[in-house]
A and B are shown apart, each in its own frame.
Chain A
Amino acid sequence: MQRWPLFIFLIISLLSCTKDDLCSGETPTTPLLTIEFLDHTDRISPKATNDLSVRLRDADSTVVHSGVSDVTLSIPLDTESDHSLFYFIDQASSEDNLDVVDLDFYFLRQDQYVNRSCAFKTIYTNLAFESNQNALSWIRDIELLTPTVEDASVHLYIYH
């Protein structure tokens, strides 16, 4: 009869209430800094880390990652300050061979609107790094591929 449009209205209005309330995991939000580990001898072939641990260089040495034996790693950058300071610790579980390199990142931040459920994300520009590695450190060389961190591509090579 003449009442069916009312039901359509009701259904549409109820659907529109709930659809976009939660941020989908597939929506790109604040990007992570992606590092690829390469062999320092040929500088081409990927080389997995050996029980790598990454910690923040803060009062608590907050653990970011531990026990990583992989060729790629993604680490977060601070959304509240223009730098993030890390310890990269090779063979972190061993008592004797543990090898620490300080690796610091400096950048500028921009907040970008995503959508109403994810709100905003931060992207990083003018990225630069500083490290205290030397000829004896486990990290031999570091190469920055792009000064902008805004997606999930590889941003940095670490040769070891």
Chain B
Amino acid sequence: MRLYTCIFIINLLFGFSLIAQETPEMLESEAQQQDAAFTEEVSYEGTLPTDSLAQDYVPEPQPEEFTAFGLRVGGDVSKLIRTALDDQYSGFELVGDLRFSKRFYVAAELGYEERLWSEQDLEASFNGSYLKIGADFNAYRNWTGMQNGITTGLRYGISSFNSNLLRYPIYTTDPTFPSSIREDNIEFNGLTAGWVEFILAIKTELWSNVYLSLNLQLKHLLHEDEPDNFANLVIPGFNKTNDFSAFGVGYGYTLTYFIPVLKR
């Protein structure tokens, strides 16, 4: 199994464990346990009507005392880990979002990636930077004082990159002549590509104003500069392209710091 697939799965598990801490079912069952304990406690007094007590203990979503608006900035940890572990990859990503209403954020990611594609003697390098801009919507209703989120968002991503075809085999079906592998160095510069991206993220406040987030991205390529007699096997920011469809996937694991600007 490829290394990044492993990292992806580890990330996913981490993400689930974070969700699991806060699933509504769990909160409900806790509340029921507390409820049961309480009714048991008061039953021998036998004076108060139980239905009014039960009402008191239903965890109503309470209005937040204040909402903090501000800028959240940080970086992608998974890309740094992958840079350290995978010798065919190096890259980083800066992320930021700006809360402009109770549940909406303007979000952007800026990154740089270098990747080596090396499979079955086909070797090419791809490097370039990318920018993704869009918005996030927080679908998660927090309890008072908590600032977690399950967000869905849309991005438009654009990448500017270069590729370099280093080595390629000639595919033949007849074994008579020895199969040839050409060592070459064909550069394709100034390529661009653009895509739309659906992004799903889980955000947890680890410490005060420090957030950890796992996100998964589903991308659809809108346009790309096709190099002459080659293809963009990988696009920085988009990741691996697909020969038979325009879809791509990605993930991120980010640490961000929230700078409050305004509290209301």
List residues of B whose CB falls within 8 A of some A CB: 2, 5, 8, 12, 15-16, 19, 23-24, 117, 119-122, 139, 150, 152, 168-174, 176-180, 182, 200, 216, 218, 229-231, 233, 240, 242-244, 247-249, 251
Please pick, from A3, A32, A115, the residue contacting B174 in the complex, using a CB distance under 8 A. Answer: A32
Given A62-B176, A111-B229, 12 more A-B residue pairs with CB atoms under 8 Å apart are A6-B16, A16-B247, A19-B244, A20-B242, A76-B174, A112-B229, A114-B171, A116-B231, A116-B233, A117-B243, A119-B122, A120-B168
17 pairs, CB–CB < 8 Å, chain A vs chain B: A5-B216, A9-B249, A10-B12, A12-B247, A16-B248, A17-B5, A20-B242, A29-B173, A30-B174, A76-B174, A76-B176, A80-B177, A80-B178, A111-B170, A111-B182, A119-B120, A119-B122
Q: Which residue of chain B lies nearest to A116 when distances are taken between CB atoms in the complex?
A: B233
Chain B residue at minimal CB-CB distance from A78: B177
Check A118 against B171 for contact (C-beta < 8 Å).
yes
Contacts of B2 in A (CB 8 A): 17
**Residues from chain A with Cβ under 8 Å of B119 in the complex:** 21, 116
CA distance A118 to B172 in the complex (A): 9
Chain B residue nearest to A122 in the complex (CB):
B170
CA–CA, A75 and B174, complex, Å: 8
CA distance A115 to B229 in the complex (A): 10
Q: Closest Cβ of chain B: how far from A79's Cβ, in Å?
A: 5
Tell me which residues across on chain B come within 8 A of A114, comparing CB atoms.
171
Q: Are B170 and A120 in contact (CB under 8 A)?
A: yes
* Least CB separation from A56: chain B residue: B176
Chain B residues contacting A145 (CB-CB under 8 Å) are none
What separation, in Å, do the CA atoms of A19 and B242 have in the docked complex?
Answer: 9
A132 at interface by CB-CB < 8 Å:
no
Bound complex: CA of A131 vs CA of B178, how far in Å? 24
> Could you say which residues of chain A place their CB within 8 Å of the CB of B178?
80
Question: Is there contact, CB below 8 Å, between B120 and A79?
Answer: no
Interface pair A29/B172, CB less than 8 Å apart: yes
Binary contact track A28-45/B, C-beta < 8 Å → 1, others 0: 011010000000000000
* A interface residues, Cβ below 8 angstroms from B: 1-3, 5-6, 9-10, 12-13, 16-17, 19-21, 23, 25, 29-30, 32, 56, 62, 64, 75-80, 84, 111-122
Q: Which of B139, B200, B249, B251 has the most CB of A within 10 A?
A: B249
- Given the interface pairs A29-B171, A56-B176, A120-B171, the reply to whether A5 lies near B242 with Cβ below 8 Å is no
**What is the minimal beta-carbon distance from B214 to any residue of chain A, in angstroms?**
9
Decide: A6 near B216, CB < 8 A? Known: A116-B231, A119-B120. yes
* A117 x B242 contact (CB < 8 A): no
Q: Do B177 and A76 touch across chains, with their CB atoms under 8 A apart?
A: yes
**What A residues does B249 contact at CB under 8 A?**
9, 12-13, 16
Tell me the complex Cα distance, A51–B178, Å. Answer: 26
What's the Cα separation between A113 and B152 when bound, in Å?
Answer: 38
- Is there contact, CB below 8 Å, between B173 and A6? no
Chain A residues near B152: list those with CB within 8 A.
5
A79 with B231, Cβ < 8 A, contacts A9-B200, A116-B119 known: no
Chain A residues whose CB sits within 8 angstroms of the CB of B169 once the complex forms: 119-120
Residues of chain B within 8 A of A79, CB atoms compared: 170, 172, 177, 179-180
Tell me which of B15, B139, B172, B251 contacts A76 (CB under 8 A): B172
CB proximity of A104 to chain B, nearest CB, Å? 15
- Tell me the bound Cα distance from A62 to B175 in angstroms: 11
Is there an interface contact between B171 and A119, defined as CB atoms closer than 8 Å? yes
Q: Which residues on the A side are within 8 Å of B24 (C-beta)? A: 1
Structural contact, A3 and B177, CB atoms closer than 8 A: no
B171 touches A121 (CB 8 A): yes
- A76-B172, A80-B178, A115-B231 known; A3-B19 Cβ under 8 A: yes
Taking the closest CB of chain B, its distance from the CB of A25, in whole angstroms, is 8
Given A16-B240, A19-B244, A116-B243, is A9 in contact with B170 using a C-beta cutoff of 8 Å? no
